[in-house]
Structure 1
């Protein structure tokens, strides 16, 4: 056997080994309870309080309920006081846990010092950064967006700046304000991104790009603070039946907020990024496997627009699709 044959055999073996390992790692995601088990006291061991932004409805509300059911007191934030008060009452009545309401609009500037004052004395162990805004419910090309300048400002303030600023409050310069008490060596940050950030996504260009920031910023922070025992994870869902998704009917792909959150919490120890559920993990794999030329064809883009418009028309009598609101 000559050197060339040996090289080809070694190369083939290495490729096979690489894909076998990749397949094994992927298969772990299908069985999170087996591979990433959590003790019953996992979340309460992080601290007494959980903070959830954008928690008046949808995914944020579901996270607040789920963490309260785990035994944590919760701080809920959004800009709609009536909704927050209702959620606070429901959580308190259902779980018996304490709930603190903070009314704030993350699309505005200079809201963070007030938030810091209201959180500084709490023993906080979990932060869920869920707040976000969609420039336009109906997908459209970037330059065709209504009130484009304001949309850019809203998305940057809400989806980008908030991610960095909220962390600054808790990793702040004063030791007493260290959100996860770095010297204590524990804490969880969950940042909600989106499945559309998996690839450059036409018609949702601004929104998808802002969610890429969420992922990269989170992954960088995890690398910086992993040795401190802090978990920083991006959760990137696809279909979840929320206002921003047009309250789609639930099915095997489109999950209710409650079902999605219940599933996603099982992946907390699964790495710095997860799609949060088995079906969404498979969707993420499929999306990255489809040639972009096919996804970016005019036929596909028009089909997406027509589909969303149709769903909007069906839901319009009972639902409001306002852009620029916290999730």
Structure 2
């Protein structure tokens, strides 16, 4: 990337909003990955649009967008070019029966803001890792609800920095799929439909959802969330297929299939991103061999991964029976 572009951005924006050669691991739930050549930290939708506009003027493109860094695995070699971290874009307010949130707002926080206002509709987001922007991008689903079911509109930043609005059409969405996955635009702000509700009932539902996640130890391990999509309504869930192949506790020296949730691949803090990717691919291969089902990754691989790394796999009964880290 041209040094003069980096220098210009540092002059235009606050120093802590523009960092070169910035470690990316702290901005992911896996705590893995190399450095970003240039990492931008916008604090508002307007600042994001300004940043994108300047990058476009210099013919620079964004390589990676991060919210809270769930559902991603960043290569050990890092990310060349521009990475944008949205977690500091977290404004939220109500307009009538709509909750308007910046893309970087934590999904759990959105649910909590709605609860405080006695608004129902977002309880399924309680305890969900990641941001509203990320949840919208992948049409996050939990407890039989998904983002598409409450989405009204999305503010998008185009590659030239211009802002446009997408109005939700349910036909555009599918199981953990959204139209934004096929667009070069960046989700910057969303409007979610909420309804007046009973505060105690809303709080009780959110408490149940968070408790279920805690019971699986999701908040106590280094993971990216579910690694694979559930194949279809006709097949068993991905976690059940993996468990049925006897893979709990299976892995490398530092990374393995989590005993409490077989669709989670966790590590002990000493693993590399390449090691996790190798585990994903080996689990995918074994499940396909034993069941005929080829699991599709839910996690996004970001950056260049080597194809010549070799890891030794083993099944560790002690890890398989470990219900808590």
Higher helix share: 1
Please state which structure has a larger fraction of its residues in strand.
Answer: 2
TM-score normalized with structure 1 length: 0.25
TM-score (norm 2): 0.25
**Structure with more relative contact order (C-alpha pairs < 8 Å, separation 6 or more):** 1
